[in-house]
Amino acid sequence: MRSSPAAGGVTRRDLLKGLVGVSVGVATGAGAHGYLYERHRVELTSTVLQVAGFPEALAGLRVGFMTDLHRSAAVPHALVESAVNRLMAERPDVILLGGDYVTWRDRRFVEPAADAVRGLSAPHGVFGVLGNHDDDREVPAAMAARGVEILKDARTRLTIQGETLDLIGIRYWTTRGRDLASVARGAARASILLAHNPSRLRDAAALALPLMLSGHTHGGQIVLPGLGAVAARNFPIVAGTGVQNSTTAFVSRGIGTVFVPIRINCPPEVAILTLHPRAEQ
């Protein structure tokens, strides 16, 4: 015969039921916070990047970086516009966009996505690449009409302070290392690779490209205590800065959301990246 707990005591079953209740409550509260508040709170990330081979004359160049707008029914114009305003307030020298302007190639939001970035401008231009959610024709055309040059497996050359800086843009669907090598061939020593997927870091490092900027991961979008960014574990960098060989990489958490309109411990961001030469080892 099983004994009963003393008056006021707690059984194991009671404890487990209580823990489940607390867990559900915490999850519900975190989800509500992530939906109602955190996904709308655009942060500014200011980071100094040490870049191999970067010319001294360009030390202090400020690059504005935005990615993964995901303009959709779940990502309103106001959110993207607030990110644009936050970035423009920093007055970057050049602005780069990392792709995924819409979600699931939804044609209804191509023009709204382009309209949302209309306010972007910089002394040395605004450039971007395509992500896996973007089509290969309508998105580039809409962006070009708003002053954003989309680099589709292409390279463009900037002259700043008398120095050459090459921008190399790779489409998400261009995945072979030799294709990246073909686009990068002949690039200046000071160059920036724009690649939506941070998994291209291995190829960039093999080619000794000095700097790569990426998005795609959303920083995990939902980052859980003790578990981290479960949905983005397979990427070499989930968010922030990393180095492989002579290649420095920065991965942004991006602006919008996909699958679920929630961010937990992972607010949207725009980035100001200040570039400096890396000390030679």
Quick one: pLDDT at residue 35? 63
Quick one: pLDDT at residue 124? 98
Q: Are 116 and 84 in contact (CB under 8 A)?
A: yes
- CA 52 centroid distance within chain: 22
Quick one: pLDDT at residue 26? 42
CATH of domain 41-277: 3.60.21.10
Q: pLDDT of the chain along its 281 residues, tens only?
A: 444 444 444 444 543 443 333 333 444 455 566 665 688 899 999 999 999 999 999 999 999 999 999 999 999 999 999 999 999 999 999 999 999 999 999 999 999 999 999 999 999 999 999 999 999 999 999 999 999 999 999 999 999 999 999 999 999 999 999 999 999 999 999 999 999 999 999 999 999 999 999 999 999 999 988 888 887 888 999 999 999 999 999 999 999 999 999 999 999 999 999 999 998 65
Quick one: pLDDT at residue 33? 62
Task: Provide the H-helix boundaries in the chain.
Answer: 12-36, 77-88, 110-116, 138-145, 177-184, 201-206
- For 264, residues 6+ apart whose C-beta sits below 8 A from its C-beta are 30, 31, 33, 34, 38, 221, 222, 223, 224
Token pair belonging to 187: 């690039």
Give the C-alpha distances (Å, rounded to integers) separating 103 from 14, 133, 246: 45, 5, 34
Quick one: pLDDT at residue 225? 87
Q: For the chain, what are the domain ranges?
A: 41-277
Q: What is the reported pTM?
A: 0.88
Task: Determine which helix (DSSP H) or strand (DSSP E) holds 164, and give its type and residue range.
Answer: strand 163-170
Quick one: pLDDT at residue 280? 67
Report the distance separating Cα 117 and Cα 121, nearest Å.
9
Number of other CB atoms surrounding residue 273 within 10 Å: 24
